[in-house]
Structure 1
Amino acid sequence: MVQATNTDEKVKENANMTNSNNKKKALGLGIKALLNNIDEELKATSEAVPAAAKPASATVAVGGRIPVDQIEVNPKQPRHDFDEQALKELSESIALHDIIQPITVAKMANGKYRLISGERRFRASKMAGLKDIPAYIRTVDDQELLELALLENLQRENLNAMEIALSYKRLMDECTLTQEQVAERMKKERSTVTNYLRLLKLPPDIQKSVRDGQLSMGHARAIISLENVDEQLYVHREVIQKGLSVRQVEQLVKNMIQEKKPLDKNAPVIPKLPPAYKRIEDNMASHFATRVSLSRKKNGKGSIQIEFYSDEDLERIMDAMKI
């Protein structure tokens, strides 16, 4: 009996050393390395530790197959759009061959499981009619759950620039990470993270075009060099209508910046518009999709200046005016 006990202790010690070594290797390598490392941890645990000797609470555990109806989708999952055709094809494959790679979940206090990674496989399994699904179970708190979901999402190859930018922003806001920490976790240069975050300053219409694939990251980076929203919207419209390349957009933006008049230090200071008139100015700029300057004197008189950047742009504005 003593000999058996010593043997069990040695097995535990060996398993702990194996898990410790695996975790050290994955440390600092980002979420992809951590998720890939799960297989090694599970294998080492299963082979080295007898069932009776396994700890009651483990960071990673073999979940076997768990009921599909006991799995909750992470409400903070950064991605919500899934290709229905691709899901259908995956579900047909799962119906024939089952799931090869288990999903990863976290055990919740209510006894259910919160999805960390593998939402496509989970959705496709439900479509295929599976009642249960193979899963790895991790023990994480709410913040770790969010960070894992965001980082796992960022490892996808088909994310558009806006999805990446939003995920970086959420990592900073909700996981209290700095740009440097986000860059470190993603193994990116800080300047790369900064460039993505700058895209979030673009007007909604331009962000939507980036999401829809009408504009590339290169187009967006060139457009954001312009300070005024109306100028950004003008270039955006030119790209969509004329199919301008990134190089053409960069040249267009460069020309627009060079054409701006230098600031005259002796020019009179234009008084700031009251909020009500500022809203009118903004509404007109939005309606004509160009820069509008409204000025108003104390006696109620004033002027409206509407800018255009080409003959075609002038014609477009005249159409908007019904002239």
Structure 2
Amino acid sequence: MAKATKKQALGRGLSALLKDPANDITSVQDKHADQVIGNIVELDIDAIEINPFQPRTNFNEESLRELASSIKELGVIQPITVRKLNFNKFQLVSGERRFRASKLIGLETIPAYIRIANDQESLEMALVENIQRQDLDPIEIALSYQRLIDEINLTQEQMSDRVGKKRSTIANYLRLLKLDPIIQTGMRDGFISMGHGRAIINIEDQSQQLDIYEKIITNKLSVRETEALVRNFQTDKQPAKTKEAVEIPKYIKKGVKDFSDYFGHKIDVKVSKNGKGNITIPFHSEEDFNRIIKLIKRAK
């Protein structure tokens, strides 16, 4: 208990140091920077602003209230991380749920690790740390990976090293962004899982994706049932194989003309590659059928 009290007192002492304009710290080379940067400091909550680079956009209200209740009983066990902006002004890098929950119960200060980082470093820190959390939905993770590609210019290989995930795992998340936005929203809201999304993504046309999505929701399909549905859908959409046309020999062409003239109808002849074939004689009524029968009997 004595250690915790000493640590808390140290945090308050550093907080006072940060509020001294004569000792404002703007870089790691500044006086007292080694005492502040990378250490836990009790910061005024009002001196901290939300990180615009935060990849997380959904905050469950019930979950926040539960966390707030825990913080009220036990305090903030894991400090948040901030970066210093200006004099006594800080920006969240990670820990927004803890920050929001603390504000919810009216805390005036919060323990925080202080970093000095530029915008790009702050973005990367926020994205990488949040990707490793367990409570982000698949689309939030996919969007974080995409931002690391677009804004930090990281390759999938580099991301694999930074976040400790296989490249194939990263690729699977990124593919989810090819889903129709309605389906992405459904995944974020928990109507379908990432497994459902990975099955649907095998359908390229987004209108067809929505047809599959509607069936999943209506029939409460499992991931395996969805995979089977997608396979059947793809089979149904495959064009029928056309048989290679066989050149009709001249003797058949001449004979067909004679048949047509004799029966008074266009006679259809189909020939296979081995020379075998079928002759089709059409008729239009019972009377026409009987007429053809008479012509055949007469030919005997």
**Same fold at TM > 0.5:** yes
Q: What corresponds to 1:141 in structure 2?
A: 118
**Pair 1:91 & 2:68 matched:** yes
> Alignment partner for residue 132 of structure 1, among 109, 116, 128?
109
Matches within 5 A, 1:143-158: 143-158=120-135
Cα separation, 2, equivalents of 1:72 and 1:133: 13
> Alignment partner for residue 93 of structure 2, among 116, 119, 124?
116
> Alignment partner for residue 33 of structure 2, among 33, 42, 57?
57
Shift of 1:71: 0.5
Cα separation, 2, equivalents of 1:171 and 1:233: 29
TM-score (normalised: structure 1): 0.62
Q: What corresponds to 2:239 in structure 1?
A: 261
Cα separation, 1, equivalents of 2:55 and 2:136: 11
Cα separation, 1, equivalents of 2:241 and 2:37: 62
Contact (CA 8 Å) 2:40, 2:79: kept in 1 or not?
A: no
Shift of 1:263: 8.0
Give the aligned residue type for 1:155. Q
TM-score (normalised: structure 2): 0.66
Deviations 1:121-157 (A, max 9, x none): 1111112221111111111111111111111111211
Deviations 1:10-36 (A, max 9, x none): xxxxxxxxxxxxxxxxxxxxxxxxxxx
Between 1:233-242 and 1:57-66, the stretch displaced more is 57-66
Shift of 1:161: 1.2
Deviations 1:92-141 (A, max 9, x none): 33233322222111110354001111111111111222111111111111
Cα separation, 2, equivalents of 1:77 and 1:107: 16
Shift of 1:262: 5.2
Cα separation, 1, equivalents of 2:94 and 2:207: 41
Matched residue SS, 1:76: coil
Deviations 1:199-249 (A, max 9, x none): 111111111111111111111111111122222111111101001111111
Between 1:94-103 and 1:140-149, the stretch displaced more is 94-103
- Structure 2 vs 1, CA of residues 227 and 89 (structure 1 numbering), >3 Å: closer, same or farther? closer
Cα separation, 1, equivalents of 2:94 and 2:152: 18
Structure 2: gaps of 5 or more residues: 1-6, 15-29, 245-300
Contact (CA 8 Å) 2:131, 2:144: kept in 1 or not?
A: yes
Q: What corresponds to 1:218 in structure 2?
A: 195
**Pair 1:206 & 2:183 matched:** yes
- Structure 2 vs 1, CA of residues 93 and 248 (structure 1 numbering), >3 Å: closer, same or farther? closer
Q: What corresponds to 1:252 in structure 2?
A: 229
- Whose Rg is larger? 2
When the two structures are aligned, how many residues end up with a matched partner? 216
Matches within 5 A, 1:169-188: 169-188=146-165
Deviations 1:52-88 (A, max 9, x none): xx96434933252111110011012111221222222
Between 1:86-95 and 1:237-246, the stretch displaced more is 86-95
Between 1:138-147 and 1:224-233, the stretch displaced more is 224-233
Contact (CA 8 Å) 2:187, 2:194: kept in 1 or not?
A: yes
Deviations 1:241-279 (A, max 9, x none): 001111111112112222210587x9xxxxxxxxxxxxx
Shift of 1:195: 1.2
Give the aligned residue type for 1:112. K
Q: What corresponds to 2:171 in structure 1?
A: 194
Matched residue SS, 2:121: helix
Cα separation, 2, equivalents of 1:256 and 1:89: 44
Structure 1: gaps of 5 or more residues: 1-38, 47-53, 267-323
**Pair 1:68 & 2:63 matched:** no
**Pair 1:234 & 2:211 matched:** yes
Runs of 4+ in 1 over 6 A off after TM superposition: none
- Percentage of matched positions with identical amino acids: 51
Cα separation, 2, equivalents of 1:98 and 1:227: 49
> Alignment partner for residue 78 of structure 1, among 35, 49, 55?
55
Give the aligned residue type for 1:57. A
Q: What corresponds to 1:283 in structure 2?
A: none
Q: What corresponds to 1:28 in structure 2?
A: none
